[in-house]
A and B are shown apart, each in its own frame.
Chain A
């Protein structure tokens, strides 16, 4: 199976869906002529032309809102946010209009829009560019939220997102863009809302998603080798809809849970998971639910310290050892 990068996998998903459905339009800042701020859309303009691959001004509220309006008439816009952090200037369009229009119209209007882009810290760009808003987004009924960790998942999930009739918010990671993974050449899709057990283990379940999956897998190797602890890593892949059955099955098997997330702790995705785990697997737990999150402050700039603010393999190991104690 060919190895391609996470970035290429997303690009292939875009190209395949652009080919498959003439209503798909890719739109965003620098997506066309500049070939993408992070080169995700590299070459798409040459292949699909300026009607399908559209450069926008720096005007997120305007172009995201335009995409929402166009989607109501059957266009399938795939909007790139250069950083998901910029969602704050388009908040009303994303979370009032896209999220609510189906409901407020009594189900008469669909909004098949995809908004995608990177949402992560760890690149020393300071607090304004390092938001991870999956918890904020997933708090809104009506939307779907996807956070892929691997090239394979990114491609299969994005294709499903583009075909979905509901608004889907797809959160990538600039640090993962260059990571290679095996991706089949034959077409495939991965349904939204299906978690993936990335590593099978017996002693403790790490529930995680996004780049923290990679940290957790690295940590799990060390824990197995150096501490004899067998860690199972459950990658949610999609935050909403949520494959809680897979989480539950793993927790019932290992009886110990650590949630790892690149989120600020207060009212995070992990907070919701912890509530659900205690509610539905209380009798299966051998100890309290543990959670490793970003250290609770705006993203620090200082490069070596930002690494410590975020979850990382060393912090995951420490958190697992604490949970096993």
Chain B
């Protein structure tokens, strides 16, 4: 027997059986078995990637230096949200999110090697080591970041929707934010513009209950998504621990955006097991018991696994294999990151201006950089 814990070892009896079976929602009923497994696989790939990144963050490299600098905001516990939402993307659908962006990046299909390398600050990173954990981007996957300022990405996401509408493309933008973002003015300005101009955007509030260390009760008045009513937008709310439930709700909202070019707001209840960032000692604003409750009863990966086993889509052996592959992928990403070179000081001034990166096509004159 493997020494690694089985992926299903800690399923608690009777967990996560819901009154409504969202697996029966049309968007989910239409899923083939491989597609169902893929949802599960993506969630566990995110989990293993982040667990591996945490180990790297806490460890040292061979020279005794830091593997990963700055902040590391982990998505562990929230995986069903990004996976459920991004699994619904068509070719004209776009995603933008805040700084807790690893899950979305993997869910839109980014390769984990350059993602890990970005954390390590390597030139092989998805942003060449210039963005870091909070600033992943993949325009080729319709993924527009990865943004560091709370709520600042929401006008941008609204602009993606504006561009879709202007260009006559039938698609939708998903603009993700945390529950802390709903009190930012930029979010409300974006709500107003989106509704006023009938833009195809879904504002997705990932409500993990805490804006950093301040609970929802201490930071936000009223139901978060309901604020949409003030802007004449419809809104919805669901439990984000079940990837099927996320998909069932988001499908409706994405359809509203794509078919009727109407914005809406969705509040998805979720939970993060780790601190706000790895730097958060996580001992001031919530109890260990609360975290354990979520872990034991609502873990999105366990919920999904439980359902897939019940559906007969997955076997324990296959689940273990998927988990082993996800761990191996994360390990391989870390090895890739570790072995990759850093950018050089010569790279610092690259990627600043389009024009300085395309000197042959430059039209302006004069100095772009100063010393």
Residues of A within 8 A of B (CB): 25, 51, 56-57, 59, 61-75, 92-93, 96-97, 101-110, 141-142, 144, 160, 163-166, 191-195, 238, 240-245, 272, 276
Contact = CB atoms under 8 A, between A and B. Distances in A.
Given A107-B351, A108-B127, A72 B158 contact: no
Nearest to A110: B354
A294 B154 CA distance: 38
Interface of B: 94, 96, 125-131, 135, 137-140, 144-149, 152-160, 162-164, 166-167, 185-186, 189-190, 192-193, 196, 349-355, 357, 363-370
Nearest to B163: A73
B353 A166 contact: yes
Contact of B196 (A57, A70, A71): A57
Nearest to B363: A191
B159 A166 contact: no
A25 B127 CA distance: 29
B149 A66 contact: no
B217 to A, nearest CB: 27
A286 B140 CA distance: 57
A272 B137 CA distance: 34
Contacts of A241: 364-368
Contacts of A70: 159-160, 162-163, 166
Contacts of B137: 101, 104-106, 108-109
Nearest to A62: B189
A69 B353 contact: no
Interface centre among B131, B147, B155, B192 (most CB of A within 10 A): B155
Given A59-B192, A193-B364, A194-B365, A68 B159 contact: yes
Contacts of A57: 189, 192-193, 196
Nearest to B365: A193
Given A66-B190, A70-B159, A109 B139 contact: yes
Contact of A160 (B160, B186, B363): B363
A195 B364 CA distance: 11
| A-B interface, 3 closest residue pairs, ranked by CB to CB distance from nearest | A69-B159, A65-B155, A62-B189
Given A92-B186, A272-B370, A104 B135 contact: yes
Given A65-B158, A109-B139, A110-B354, A73 B164 contact: yes
Contacts of A164: 355, 363-364
Contacts of B369: 141
B189 A106 contact: no
B108 to A, nearest CB: 14
A163 B157 contact: no
Given A69-B144, A75-B166, A104-B135, A96 B152 contact: yes
Contacts of A75: 159, 162-163, 166-167
Contacts of A101: 137, 145
Given A25-B166, A109-B144, A66 B193 contact: yes
Interface centre among A69, A97, A105, A166 (most CB of B within 10 A): A69
Contacts of A71: 159
B145 to A, nearest CB: 7
Given A106-B127, A164-B364, A166-B355, A62 B139 contact: no
Contact of B135 (A64, A105, A165): A105
Contacts of B131: 103-106
A104 to B, nearest CB: 4
Contact of A191 (B135, B138, B354, B365): B365
Nearest to B160: A69
B160 A73 contact: yes
Contacts of A69: 96, 144, 155-160, 162-163
A61 B189 contact: yes
A140 B211 CA distance: 29
Contacts of B127: 104-106, 108
Given A70-B159, A93-B152, A104-B130, 16 more contacts: A59-B193, A61-B155, A62-B192, A69-B155, A72-B139, A72-B156, A96-B152, A102-B352, A108-B127, A141-B352, A165-B354, A166-B355, A193-B367, A193-B368, A242-B366, A245-B366
A25 B153 CA distance: 21
Nearest to A96: B149
Contacts of A62: 155, 158, 186, 189-190, 192-193
A75 B126 CA distance: 24
